[in-house]
Amino acid sequence: MVLDVLSLLGVTRPCAGCRGGGGPWCVPCAATLTGPAAYADLRPWPEGLPPVTAASVYAGPVREALVAFKDHGRWSLRAALGSALATAVARLLVDLPQDAVTLVPVAGSPGSVRSRDGDHVRELAEAAAGVLRRAGLDARARPALVPVRRRDDQVGLGRAARAANLRGAMRPRPDVDRLTAVVLVDDLVTTGSTLAEAARALRSGGCRPVGAAVVAATRTRPADDLPTG
C-alpha cells in the first residue's frame, strides 16, 4: 500500500469531499456519512442478490471521497469510510440479527489492485469490522473470494453487460463453507451485478450470505418488500 505520506508528515490536505479546508475529511462532509443507513434500490433486483444496505447515496462529497480513496490513494479516508460501512452493516443486522458477523469483501481484479496500490475494499472491510467490535459485536473481515480472470471496466456498461462481464470472475476459497453470518461488503453499488456475482461465488462453495452492505448506493429506498438471495 502507498502510505498517505503528507498526512504522516502532518501536512494538511484539502477535504476529499468539498476540496475546502479541514482535510482529509471536514466536519460538514463527515455529516453526509453518519446515516441513517438505508436499503439500496436496485430494481430490477439481480437474481440471487441478498438485501443490500448503504450508509449514504453516491453523490456530492460521498462520491468525491470514494473516488479519492480508491482511485487517488487517499488512504487517510479509510477510517471515515470504514465507519460508514459499519453503519450499513449495523442497519442490515437490525432486520437480520446475528450474534457474530463475517465481512467478506468483494474481490477486485488483479489489475485494479495493482493500479490502486492495494485492495481498497479489503481495507474498508477490516476497518468496519474494527468499528463493529468496538461496539460490542463479534465481527471479523475475511477475504473469502479471489479473482479468477481479468474483467473490463464497468463504467458505461448496462445491467446485462455488467452481469456478462462479471460472470465467473470470482471463486470462493476452499473453506468458505465454514463461515457463518456472512455479509458481503463493497464500497459502492450501482446495479448490484458485482455483489450478485460475489454471492453466487460464495454459494458455489457452500456459503450463503445473509446480506450485503456498502458505503454508498446510487439510490436507496425503504426496507419494504425486500427480495431475498
For the chain, the domains span 33-221
Query: 73-93 burial, b if ≥16 CB within 10 A, otherwise e?
Result: bbbbbbebbbbbbbbbbbbbb
What are 211's three cell numbers?
446480506
What are 229's three cell numbers?
438471495
pLDDT digits (tens, 9 = 90+) for 52-72: 999 999 999 999 999 999 888
pLDDT at 6: 52
pLDDT at 229: 47
Question: For the chain, what is the mean pLDDT?
Answer: 86
> Averaged over 43-50, what is the pLDDT?
91
140 three-state secondary structure:
strand
pLDDT at 2: 42
User: What global pTM score does this model have?
Assistant: 0.85
Cα angle value 40/140/120 (rounded, 5°): 60
Bridge partners, 56 (sequence order): 216
> Averaged over 82-97, what is the pLDDT?
96
33-221: CATH architecture: 3-Layer(aba) Sandwich (3.40)
